[in-house]
Structure 1
Amino acid sequence: MDLQIKSPVDYTSMQLKLFANQVRQGGKVIHEGLETRISHAKLLAFAHKGSKLIGVAALKNPDPHYREEVFNSTGSELNPDRFAFELGWIFVKPSFRRGGVSKAMTTALMTRVTTQAIFVTVQSNNIPMIWVLSQLGFRQEGRAYRSRRGPYPLVLFVSVPHRLRRNDEYAPQDADAIDRALNPTYRSPHYRQRFFDRLCYDPHSGHETRYYQQEAIIALEEALNPDHPIILHVGTGGGKTTIANDFLVKKMHQGQRPILWIAKDWPLLDQAVSDLLRRHAHLKPKSIARLGGDGTLLHPLREVTQGPGRVVYSTVQTAGKKGNLRTVFRTPKSRPKLVVYDECHWGLRGKTGRLIRRWCARYRIPMIGLTATPHCPLETDTYIAYSKTFAELVAEGFLAEPKIERVETHIRWSPQKAGHDFAASSLRELANNQERNQQIVQRYKDHELRYGKTLVFACNIAHANQLGNLFKAAGVAVGVVHSKMGYGMQEVVHNFRRGTLNVLVNVEQMIHGVDIPDIRTIFMCRPTASEVLFSQMIGRGCR
């Protein structure tokens, strides 16, 4: 395929007429004055296969009144004047569709204007084009609106280049809003303020201590032993973080501090910090610290090297890095009097987990491992101090009983396994199945009132983005979260928690460290062969 990208003035009148004829074949265009509008465009793209023209596209110079009408129709708060160009007049001959022609033309046009913001409108049921736009970094802005050219809805997508967001000369009037959404940072003053606001003591946070949580605290006290780790096993949704924090506060009152809390990632640590400070009025953010974590969720906290904390939070990887524990906790007074290892099933037997265990054993520091897994795959020298299974929590009415609803898609799938779960290539095959993705969204739309607040588990990031675009095009208030979002992820989860969003699509970001009791439905669009992962996902909807 050969692409030709030039300004309209560099094409012949015959070529411009040919371009207009291709656009008319696509329909849904105002024919009157089309040639004039084409001649005023920024760039025109022709795609050829050999000598045959197979597609056209353009970067248009939009009429200011039309541009303002589009943004106003979607309810967008962005300033339309800052979007210099519109991507449009995209047409590929039917026999050459689904071959990457649209994506190639769109990419080529965008590379010519890397310092300008671009918008594009697309029919809400044009799934292939929505997929292309999501792959190129466009995001939907606002709600769908009715086209003035026919009885069909349109959706607006925007692309704001990084250079535009960083350069004050080109910065839009609402640059802060765009920056928070598209180029977020945990180091920003905005995030720092939000962070400390949500960590304030809340007398209405949580619920009264349940009888089994009190039993667990007593059992931990009796079993605590510096010679070997002990395990607290509570099924997903049973409040193991709450139990551990209440036990931690009890030990601090006994003068046993500092306490080191480690977990596999910063979102888990953020959940532990939030639960601790929001339920205990005497503890303040200044009394806790972090080991590592610069530029992460807990960035606003003081680094432990700058001053001690009653509780120190760190990831397993950071704590286990050579020399960290020995350097930071080098004196008997500074060493932790207790180590809490959250989600210990993720790494207690691994190399880093064994290193941390040896360090605890050397200085006779008790360790408590927290887990919600159905089975405890740990060494025999660990002692389960207390266990409350998921089934017991459901039977006693503390958790809702899951009601399984099987939906047949009639799609053939022969997955390969990698370790204890399905291979990424097999999950990618499902993610790319557009028929299945449309069935997912249609299923939700058909039962929207019954399903209510819904959490969707996607196969991978591309799958999450595509499902998000499909839900949006269907008029659903939806958010998407995945590992590459940074600070923006917390904003989306916050909106889902408070009810601004009805659906949240995620890629393994909501399997732990999140407590949203009013989730009514779980869409398991990401199949798993792992019993651990399955229980984590199901548990999000049983609070």
Structure 2
Amino acid sequence: MLSKNELYTGLKLTTGGSEDPLLPKLLHAINNADEIEISVSFLQFSGMYLLLPALEDALARTSRINILTSDYLCITDPRALKQLMLLQERGANTKIFQCRHGESFHMKTYIFIKNKNGSLHDGCAFIGSNNISATALQYAHEWCIRYDFNPDEANIDNEFSHIRSQFNAIFTHQQSHDLTHNWINDYQSRHAKLRKAPLALVSNDDRIEQFEPATPNEVQQLALTALCDSRNAGFKRGLVVLATGMGKTWLAAFDAQQFQAKRILFVAHREEILLQAQNTFVTLMNETSTGLYNGKETNKEAKFIFASVQTLGRKAHLMHFKPEHFDYIIIDEFHHASAPTYKHLLAHFQPQFLLGLTATPERTDQADILSLVDNNLVFERNLVHGIEAGIIVPFDYHGIFDDSVDYQTIPWRNGKFDPHSLDNAFATLQRANHVFDHWQRLKQTRTLAFCMSIRHANFMVKHFTAKGVKAAAVYNDSQVKRNEALLSLKNGELDIIFSVDLFNEGTDLPSIDTILMIRPSESKILFLQQLGRGLRTSATTNKNKLTVVDYIGNHHSFLNKPFALLGEEGAGRVLSGKEAPTLPDGCYVNLPIELINLWQTLKDKLKYSAVEEFNTLYEQLGHRPTATEFFQHGYDLTKVRKQHKSWFNLVKNNLLDSASDVPMMPIIEKYHDFMLESIEMTSMTKCFKPILLAAFLELNGFNNSPTTQALSKRSWLVLNRRPDLFNSELPEKQRGLTAESEAWHKYWLGNPIKAFTNTIKSNSQQWFSVIDGFFVANIKPTAQELELLHELVQELVDYRLAKYINSKQLNLQSSAIPIEQSVTKPIDSLSTGDSVSLPYYPDLRIACGNFKTGTYTHVEQLSLPAYYDKYDPKRYFVAPACGNSMHGGKNPIANGDLLLLEWITPVNAGSISSLTLAIERIDDAGDSEYLLRVVKKQPDGRYLLKANNPEYEDKVATDNMKTFARLIKVIKK
């Protein structure tokens, strides 16, 4: 690696080409400069992509940046100018030199300054032929000379001072104008015309770069269809679950484009996620303006706003925007959305569509957040799907027993180890040697390690460096900057990065092929985020798999790892010793017997009282479980009430040591009976009571009692966001009413409002009243109590609605088509070097018309080309298509085609909507019949079986049907 104590190193002349490129020298200078001044004639997207992370890091440490480019010959890429605008929003000064007719602009100058005590201490200037493009900075033969500041030359007219003064002259020239979105939009039309014309006067390296437009991958295409179907069904909110590395941000951009959104809000909780998302949207839709809304900048005018939830989630900031200001809202890392700031935002805005994104692996983990998107799980794909589709790489997981640390002796409070005690336990030579030995044996070439603290990271760097390993520690304000460390790792100048809280979320790290987990991960989500940092494919480094080396200690908190890796059912089988884990093709899990025994011992210690169930779930989730999460994980709130009288009594009794939850205790005690009787235990024959309470909370009803008209209108809007409930719970006559109509107001008065305000039992407390047309809560919280009371009531409302939907089987996972497995005997692969064999059922006859009788009692082996070797014969099989109902659309299926299918099991079931599935039913004679159709979710909760050939009618799924296989592809003969 280059020296980290100066702006430059090496010879003054850079000759370019792959042996002496300018890029690493520029990155090193950017990462260490206090002032950066750049002037180039041409700016290309590929070059800005290479420099942008380092320039963003420089701005984050308050470096001053001035960048000037030109419109000479219209070579500069408008998308690169959009990237300059991203830097401008972060504090850079960016300008465009507008050339007059016949005037040239050919500057290529990069100046870097290091200050000390407020004055110039060191500096250099690279001047030559390199514009900002990938070719010029990495591959082309471009000469560039470096001029160095000489502190011994006190004369103000020395060479370096002259260079800086001339840069200032051109930067402040009357033809140098501040870059704006409006200027870029005007320039785009000129640039588009020039792209069609020959550029005889321009060198090859400076020609306009031609880019293929970004297109969605296979899984993203399915998700886009599902999103479109969900909106057509009437949903206004939805959740998409994609495993890390499968392109959630790009999916959001593609869907916003598909939706033709005019005003977009993208919300996240970390700065790097916002910056990455902004860059993605600029790349795909560069014709509009973007802006940040965070602690540093509050851009309200841009069409696409990328906002920090910590800022925009405050009520004072929300008031700057009308509820309908944005037509499309994306909330990334949606598993954080149950936090109060997110809920304020969700309650305020009323977009045409709101998309939640997360990589949370299982529906039980999504229990609480699904209520925030009207229980609409639009699309879900896990690691298995991503690996099988080739979007992410397979992994080898090595669980290492961390026997050098006794975690039982480390204090455990509120779901976390005491950080100081853990730090001391990790900073030992015994553990460092233990980590090094296993890493040395199992690693590939580029490792990212997750550490507990800065002290821990620095300790590990010192230890590894002493053993001849090229290592660096990366954290906020570390000497080695994040972008420089990643580039050095990619180029082989580093073997391992020890990181602290920088790479958990939102960072694209495709070159990493080894993950080293040497700190506890408090939740399944964190564990999967860390594993996911290495799952992206990387053609430049020829990565074909990820190696994971994970250290597991003797504490019950480590049980989250098998549940995260294998799922609840798979982990249960492994921990019980019944069978080996079921894994995607190409994956491998090594769990030494001592770890299996340890996990089993820890699991056996877990009891089954409500308190122990609560604490078990607390450890698994990494946070205090909500009532909905407790319910969706299969725990019984009836038992909770028997043992603790109410849900919040259980919560109160188990959070007395949590400083963050201390304010909750008096609220629970003071309003316990109100929450228990009016919400947790209130009788329900329809969903209307929780819908009304949800509307009451959205209107801030505890603070300002709404009129019954306002409450009925907001209730209609809340219910209308749920077309499954709207169509199934309301009588047909009421479904035709509008939110503002008096008929709807009258109907709502006679149903939930009356039920809440009439006391039937003589000993019952009347918790709500209608007074002079206002719906009033008969409790009087103080101003200090309002926010916490609102959150607790919202939690119970979400739980009651989730429980009601579950009881009525209206949730999106319920269906007229049970997800079951049709059993087949496992058949060993007969693959050879030139071909592979898969089970072939010639009599199964998957009907592509109407249901056809078939059987899979007779099986043969079908020889296929060797590239089919990734399909496990225990999971995949081949059957013939019969009929032409699917002969249409983008991927037509003709009569007689051979279909590659995957058995559907409880382990790999996932979402079924918008997939092409094989369906089985039993006819009156008791024979099995089969059909192939696309499954589409309908607003009333049913599923429609759609044909691709418009000559065939769609079918409605019935109770005697079940899905048994999903279509993978048609095998070409």
Q: How do 1:182-197 and structure 2 match up within 5 A?
A: none
1:274 to 251, 259, 279: 279
Counterpart of 2:342? Answer: 353
Counterpart of 2:268? Answer: 263
Deviations 1:178-230 (A, max 9, x none): xxxxxxxxxxx9xxx9xx9xxx9983797x53222111012112324897631
1:241 to 243, 249, 253: 249
Q: For the residues of structure 2 that align with 1:406 and 1:477, how far apart are their CA atoms? A: 24
Q: For the residues of structure 1 that align with 2:263 and 2:417, how far apart are their CA atoms? A: 41
1:459 to 433, 452, 462: 452
Deviations 1:248-289 (A, max 9, x none): 2223xx3x32100000111111221232334x2x506x7211
Contact 1:456 1:524 in 2 (8 A): yes
Counterpart of 1:336? Answer: 326
Q: Structure 1 pair 321/228, CA: closer, same or farther in 2 (3 Å)?
A: same
2:319 to 292, 307, 326: 326
1:290 to 275, 289, 292: 292
Contact 1:441 1:467 in 2 (8 A): no
Opposite residue 237 of structure 2, the aligned amino acid is P
Opposite residue 317 of structure 2, the aligned amino acid is N
Q: For the residues of structure 1 that align with 2:211 and 2:292, how far apart are their CA atoms? A: 25
Could you say what secondary structure the match of 2:395 adopts?
coil
1:424 to 409, 419, 425: 419
1:217 to 194, 219, 224: 224
Q: For the residues of structure 1 that align with 2:328 and 2:418, how far apart are their CA atoms? A: 38
Opposite residue 392 of structure 2, the aligned amino acid is L
Deviations 1:363-414 (A, max 9, x none): 4553111000123142433311111112332344433332122445541322
Q: Structure 1 pair 173/399, CA: closer, same or farther in 2 (3 Å)?
A: closer
Counterpart of 2:203? Answer: none
Could you say what secondary structure the match of 1:452 adopts?
coil
Could you say what secondary structure the match of 2:481 adopts?
helix
TM-score, scaled relative to structure 2: 0.32
Contact 2:458 2:473 in 1 (8 A): yes
Contact 1:479 1:492 in 2 (8 A): yes
Q: Structure 1 pair 501/250, CA: closer, same or farther in 2 (3 Å)?
A: farther
Contact 1:402 1:538 in 2 (8 A): no
Counterpart of 1:476? Answer: 469
Q: Structure 1 pair 485/292, CA: closer, same or farther in 2 (3 Å)?
A: farther
2:484 to 491, 494, 499: 491
Opposite residue 246 of structure 2, the aligned amino acid is G
Indicate yes or no: 2:495 matched with 1:502. Answer: yes
Counterpart of 2:756? Answer: none
Q: How do 1:36-435 and structure 2 match up within 5 A?
A: 76=3, 78=5, 166-168=116-118, 171-172=121-122, 203=211, 209-224=216-231, 229-251=237-259, 254=260, 256-278=261-283, 280=284, 283=286, 287-294=289-296, 303-305=298-300, 308-327=301-320, 329-330=321-322, 335-346=325-336, 348-360=337-349, 363-374=350-361, 375-377=365-367, 378-380=369-371, 381-408=374-401, 410-414=403-407, 415-435=410-430
Q: How many Å apart are 1:539 and its aligned residue?
A: 1.4
Q: For the residues of structure 1 that align with 2:230 and 2:360, how far apart are their CA atoms? A: 20
Q: For the residues of structure 1 that align with 2:224 and 2:122, how far apart are their CA atoms? A: 54
Q: Structure 1 pair 169/321, CA: closer, same or farther in 2 (3 Å)?
A: same
Q: Structure 1 pair 318/175, CA: closer, same or farther in 2 (3 Å)?
A: farther
Q: For the residues of structure 1 that align with 2:490 and 2:210, how far apart are their CA atoms? A: 16
Could you say what secondary structure the match of 2:272 adopts?
helix
Q: Structure 1 pair 434/370, CA: closer, same or farther in 2 (3 Å)?
A: same
Q: Structure 1 pair 409/526, CA: closer, same or farther in 2 (3 Å)?
A: closer
Q: Say what the alpha-carbon RMSD is for the aligned residues.
A: 3.7
Equivalent pairs counted in the alignment come to 344
Q: Structure 1 pair 210/376, CA: closer, same or farther in 2 (3 Å)?
A: same
Could you say what secondary structure the match of 1:358 adopts?
helix
Contact 2:267 2:308 in 1 (8 A): yes
Contact 1:455 1:522 in 2 (8 A): yes
Contact 1:421 1:528 in 2 (8 A): no
Opposite residue 286 of structure 2, the aligned amino acid is L
Contact 2:270 2:308 in 1 (8 A): yes
Contact 1:512 1:536 in 2 (8 A): yes
Q: For the residues of structure 1 that align with 2:528 and 2:4, how far apart are their CA atoms? A: 40
Q: For the residues of structure 1 that align with 2:426 and 2:213, how far apart are their CA atoms? A: 38
Deviations 1:63-106 (A, max 9, x none): xxxxxxxxxxx9747479xxxxxxxxxxxxxxxxxxxxxxxxxx
Q: For the residues of structure 2 that align with 1:324 and 1:230, how far apart are their CA atoms? A: 25
Contact 2:411 2:421 in 1 (8 A): yes
Q: Structure 1 pair 77/219, CA: closer, same or farther in 2 (3 Å)?
A: closer
Q: Percent identity at matched positions?
A: 23
Q: How many Å apart are 1:519 and its aligned residue?
A: 1.5
Q: For the residues of structure 1 that align with 2:210 and 2:314, how far apart are their CA atoms? A: 36
Could you say what secondary structure the match of 1:513 adopts?
coil
Counterpart of 1:133? Answer: none
Opposite residue 524 of structure 1, the aligned amino acid is M
Counterpart of 1:531? Answer: 524
Q: Structure 1 pair 175/317, CA: closer, same or farther in 2 (3 Å)?
A: farther
Could you say what secondary structure the match of 2:507 adopts?
coil
Considering Cα pairs closer than 8 Å and 6+ residues apart, tell me whether 1 or 2 has the greater RCO: 1
Q: How many Å apart are 1:473 and its aligned residue?
A: 3.5
Could you say what secondary structure the match of 1:451 adopts?
coil
Contact 1:457 1:505 in 2 (8 A): yes
Q: For the residues of structure 2 that align with 1:495 and 1:540, how far apart are their CA atoms? A: 17
Q: Structure 1 pair 397/531, CA: closer, same or farther in 2 (3 Å)?
A: same
Counterpart of 1:38? Answer: none
Larger of the two Rg values belongs to structure: 2
Q: Structure 1 pair 260/541, CA: closer, same or farther in 2 (3 Å)?
A: same
